[in-house]
């Protein structure tokens, strides 16, 4: 019985510290909005923002190329020659590979 009294005495003396420790444990590890999840979500948000920047740059470049194709007929001819190996009737094409 003295062991139980010693344990209850310990709880009585340090109840504020014990309650605080349990609260901190719940906030950091157990809670739905725990600190560990917040850190993980912050990292994920950073990665997603970087992806958004990358795709925005790709979008801007594609939009620029599309506008150039709509306004410049020479750009269409250049793409046809380079990408699809088209030629005029009196020309010869030489393809060099690395």
Q: Is residue 96 part of a domain?
A: no
Are residues 82 and 38 part of one domain? Answer: yes
Domain count within the chain: 2
Distance CA 45, CA 55 (A): 15
Are residues 51 and 76 part of one domain? Answer: yes
DSSP 21: H
SS3 label, residue 34: coil
Distance CA 65, CA 46 (A): 29
pTM (two decimals): 0.56
From first to last of its 98 residues, the chain has per-residue pLDDT tens of 688 888 888 888 888 998 999 998 888 888 788 888 889 999 999 999 999 999 999 999 999 989 988 888 888 888 887 788 777 778 777 778 87
Structure tokens, 93: 């094409």
49's CB contacts (< 8 A; 6+ apart) are none
Structural contact between residues 88 and 82, judged by C-beta atoms closer than 8 angstroms: no
């Amino acid at each position: 019985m003295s062991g139980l009294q010693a344990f209850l005495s310990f709880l009585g003396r340090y109840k504020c510290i014990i309650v605080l420790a349990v609260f901190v444990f719940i906030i950091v590890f157990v809670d739905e909005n725990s600190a560990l999840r917040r850190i993980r979500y912050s990292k994920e948000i950073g990665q997603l923002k970087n992806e958004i920047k990358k795709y925005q740059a790709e979008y801007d470049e594609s939009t620029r190329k599309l506008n150039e194709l709509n306004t410049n007929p020479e750009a269409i001819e250049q793409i046809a020659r380079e990408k699809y190996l088209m030629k005029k009737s009196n020309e010869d094409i030489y393809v060099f590979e690395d």
